[in-house]
């Protein structure tokens, strides 16, 4: 079975991104770190997917404000942000692809994976919004153009190293996030 893990570089003033650390924490699997840039993140991943065949693709991204690992069930055909991406680009609020439906569901076995992993670790949830930033745009593009690919977007919380007394936010220890991701991967066998 061939699995690809992707993560993102640090962004919006953060020094690290747990999705980048996590995607590189499984040396037996291929990993790809993506730029936090609208359109470009997908262009990099699309080129990789056209050159390689995978049974599963798990796209990881940081979600400040969450305290559980989130399996994203829906990719929205919408982009909207108050923040620029790492290239300085800020998109206007609009559909990602005018010819596609407002939302797409992943072919990844989210419900089955969630059920198996939740038994071992309660710090996992199903989410119905991957947001409207680069993460969601990437997810929507993959679901739209690679319709039969079992791909899922997985939002991960901040880690303790990103928390300070001046900036208290929800987090989940990196080791626990690794354990959850490991259980997700085991559930695919």
Task: Please list the active-site residues.
Answer: 72, 135, 155
145 three-class SS: helix
Residue 1 CB-density burial (10 A; 0-12 exposed, 13-18 middle, 19+ buried): exposed
Specify the residue for token string 């982009």.
Answer: 79
Beta pairing partners, 6: 32, 59
**Residue 111 Cα distances to 10, 81, 153, angstroms:** 29, 29, 14
d(CA 144, CA 58): 16
Q: Which tokens in the block code for residue 148?
A: 């039969």
Beta pairing partners, 104: 75
72 three-class SS: strand
d(CA 108, CA 54): 12
Q: Within 10 Å of residue 142's Cβ, how many Cβ atoms?
A: 24
């Amino acid at each position: 079975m061939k699995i690809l893990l992707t993560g993102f570089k640090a962004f919006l003033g953060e020094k690290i991104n747990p999705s980048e650390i996590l995607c590189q924490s499984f040396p037996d699997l291929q990993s790809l770190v993506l730029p936090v840039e609208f359109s470009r993140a997908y262009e990099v991943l699309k080129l990789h997917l056209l050159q390689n065949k995978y049974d599963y693709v798990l796209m990881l991204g940081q979600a400040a404000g969450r305290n559980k690992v989130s399996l994203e069930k829906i990719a929205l055909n919408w982009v909207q942000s108050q923040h620029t991406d790492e290239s300085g680009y800020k998109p206007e609020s609009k559909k990602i692809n005018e010819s596609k439906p407002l939302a797409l569901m992943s072919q990844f076995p989210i419900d089955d994976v969630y059920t198996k992993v939740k038994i071992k670790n309660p710090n996992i949830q199903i989410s119905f919004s991957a947001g409207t930033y680069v993460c969601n745009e990437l997810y929507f593009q993959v679901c739209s153009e690679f319709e039969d690919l079992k791909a899922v977007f997985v939002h991960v919380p901040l880690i303790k190293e990103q928390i300070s007394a001046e900036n208290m936010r929800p987090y989940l220890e990196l080791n626990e996030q690794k354990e959850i991701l490991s259980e997700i991967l085991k559930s695919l066998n």
